[in-house]
């Protein structure tokens, strides 16, 4: 299944590849080798675009004591930090890096009420840069679960990602594991948890959005 955010990109890609191969056919009408090379390269490029926008079905096991990973990728940060935008105190930060080959659907790590949401325009530093969490284009969302535990998480654009999409707003009730947004072409998600939260993942661990339990309260 393909994600709805990919429709326009896939259509433009098809138009571009059709025009490119038509042009190659016009310039090299008798050179089958050149035409076949461009056809193969075009198909490979189309497959890359299609796999980026794939949206596999995920069965989420909801649990108010669990924090579910919001994205597919690899854990690149686990550390105690000062969260300066909303909590303004120390939190445990867990960051997941998404390569262009990961599924880029973003999911709510907990269920509950959206207490805070803000979009920040910004730079496009590489997603693993230490300052990407505070200087890149990003969103900040805080969800409070029914046990009144608040979890903050950020969608962060990377060097290739220049469009963040979100489906949440303040006051909205959201389900754990439900789609909250999408980031195009390489990015990162940061999760900020209360001190004392049990972390179930390790650095460089490969995780799955909606499936991996990254922490427990």
| 148-158: pLDDT as tens digits | 999 999 998 87
135: three-class secondary structure by DSSP = helix
User: Annotated catalytic residue: which of 95, 132, 133, 187?
Assistant: 187
Report pTM.
0.82
Q: Is 133 a catalytic residue?
A: no
Which residue ranges in the chain fall short of pLDDT 70?
Answer: 124-134, 159-162, 185-186
Domain for residue 60, yes or no? no
pLDDT value, residue 211: 93
The residue count for the chain: 217
The domain that contains 141 carries what CATH number? Answer: 2.70.70.10
> For residue 124, what pLDDT is reported?
62
Q: Give the number of domains in the chain.
A: 2
Which domain, by its residues, includes 154? 66-216
Contacts (Cβ under 8 Å, ≥6 apart) of 31: none
d(CA 201, CA 174): 24
- pLDDT, residue 84, reads 92
* Shared domain check, 139 and 203: yes
Asked if 46 and 75 sit in the same domain, the reply is no
- Say if CB 103 and CB 78 are below 8 A apart: no
Q: Strand pairing partners for 155?
A: 139, 189
């Amino acid at each position: 299944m393909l994600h709805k955010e990919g429709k326009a990109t896939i259509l433009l890609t098809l138009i571009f590849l059709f025009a490119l191969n038509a042009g190659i056919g016009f310039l090299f009408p008798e050179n089958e080798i050149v035409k076949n090379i461009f056809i193969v390269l075009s198909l490979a490029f189309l497959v890359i675009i299609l796999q980026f926008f794939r949206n596999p079905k995920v069965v989420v096991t909801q649990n108010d004591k669990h924090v579910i990973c919001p994205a597919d990728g690899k854990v690149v940060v686990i550390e105690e930090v000062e969260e300066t935008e909303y909590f303004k105190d120390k939190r445990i930060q867990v960051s997941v890096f998404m390569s262009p080959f990961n599924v880029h659907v973003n999911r709510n790590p907990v269920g509950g009420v959206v207490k805070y949401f803000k979009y920040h325009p910004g730079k496009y530093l590489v997603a693993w840069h230490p300052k990407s969490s505070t200087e890149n284009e990003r969103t900040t969302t805080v969800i409070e679960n029914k046990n009144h535990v608040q979890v903050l998480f950020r969608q962060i654009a990377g060097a290739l990602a220049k469009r963040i999409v979100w489906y949440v707003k303040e006051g909205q009730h959201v389900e754990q594991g439900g789609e909250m947004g999408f980031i195009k072409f390489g990015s990162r998600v940061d999760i900020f948890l209360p001190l004392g939260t049990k972390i179930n993942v390790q650095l460089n661990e490969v995780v799955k959005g909606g499936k991996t339990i990254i922490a427990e309260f």
